[in-house]
Structure 1
């Protein structure tokens, strides 16, 4: 038995509320269970109960055992002076507050059905991956769809927080913020942090000014990424290095050492040289990129907009001094899908929220057009009969696994609450 189960029982009144009596045999009526705080202090704030015809307003504290009151030193804490009822699973001692007044006790165990206890024990039995892996496919479809929407927007809220942080750092320059987060996701998982540091290391005012000459953008990105630190005979390398030091002198800014970029374990088309060249070409192709992207509403429009290739040199190279067979190396739809999921939609969401606009349905519609992501989490859900048909559903499942299943938050989850009902 865990305390969060008792919180669930009290919050949703999942017990016999008609014939309640305190441990001292006083008649008890619940008018309002109070507000669940999940903060320091009593568990439920501003509750109302009637005990023996006397109405009380105050806070509710919940423990597995009455003695936990003393174990947590509540008798010395002023925050617990206004507790009007102590709800416990087992009563093992009388308790008193700071004023030495006995606090009424409700022993919840006496009023909870055997069925809900059985369902709870079934739910929390450890499984190989998630607690509900055998039952999740049986959840009511309508409830699960609504839960997916909530999960999706929870995930967006989490993704938007660093966007707001960067917005504060850039003096509300959305174009600069877009550049940082596009750069991060051009780096994928392996080079994401390096590319983000790289984008932050170059004042975006310089990116704006130099965007008309793509070689200068490449020089800035490759230079600050440390890819021009060595000496090579390659003429294109020498040209970028010359441009880089010229730009450092021109704008009087110092080279910043960022986390080294990685080539290892990448397919050649994802080498940092290729992705940085594509990023430079994107900003050469589109000035005021944020204001244009924010207006795009369909996946096709975004595919067309983000279709860029590399500088001519990189069509026959993956690294300096190493020629390879010619290949155009344009941004593939699968790569753009990742940019939509991890950059464009979070920024569109954050921007709309900042302006007080409602675009929830538009974002869901956009992700419904994108193929489902493929990873171990989505594959595992599929093995339990939960199949994702698009990126909206995969994003929701990732939020479910990472923020609920991994943290054992079954009683905050619609799936867990449905299973407790015995459906």
Structure 2
């Protein structure tokens, strides 16, 4: 039995809709960005009105919301940043994530908001954690470079009331906790201000300066090579080790990813964590939960730095594409218990006779055959070919709003 209390499951929320889905599928808290000062400029992000709505939803369900203010600001950002922080406090969020000492100072100067130290601060030792705590931080998000041994050692050498947050799933960055200038040099897009072009995922060859148009593969391989293309992190097979390390919050990466990604990953980790705490001595990860990790678009998985310093086995050399074995064909908007019809918004083409599966907070991977399919007006149809069309599907079990219907790609 672990001596630590059950950790928070922290999900990404790139939009208000993703926030709702994260809470519905079992997240205890979400992290999100405003429309400025966040390191995910490409995400939809939140207006102040959407933040207020999110706070209302969170409080209703006893959940929490953390706003990322983790850019490395320039002088020109500071005045607007102070106003942004005051607004965040007015809205009622639960904490801000910061990585810059100047931002830390502004938070304390203008608000009483709790402060979490972002992974961008590169905190990888207990002395740094203790210093942040002394300055007033409530939580530190450790750098992805920390091993499980490092995390345990940090926990043993910091105050009990200082929380530790650790990434357990999602994309990994080849740079040191995300601090990188590659994108700035190659694409004019500053990764430290939220505009990373992911230059590390590009395909590279060698060019000799006197032969500018001749490209030589760095490895002899018909695909070329991607020398900085990290595998995705996946720690769902190591729930017991995570539970026993004294981590306060298990964090899922992915504010730029889809609603389905948020649902499937949060759902799997939620169920795995709850199963462990129900019976720690006899816990074993059910196969169907591990299988779920392969039913969402992903790069090949790895355990990052948790158990060893990843070398060549932590990179993907032959492609920068995601592995995708399933398509979401529809999102459930409503379900009529009397007729058994689910009103859906189509995402990808599906037809009568297809074998599909359900993902909902209560149902994971349950298959059924599409026997009856209707237009929104009730007309019987053979298939749903038009993106975004509203249709009705006969489903043999009751569903919640925001359930997903998916189909295996053959």
Query: What interval of TM-score do these two structures reach, taking the shorter chain for normalisation?
Result: under 0.3
Which structure carries more helix by proportion?
Answer: 1
Give the structure-1-normalised TM-score: 0.24
Which structure carries more strand by proportion?
Answer: 2
Give the structure-2-normalised TM-score: 0.24
Question: Of the two, which has the highest radius of gyration?
Answer: 1
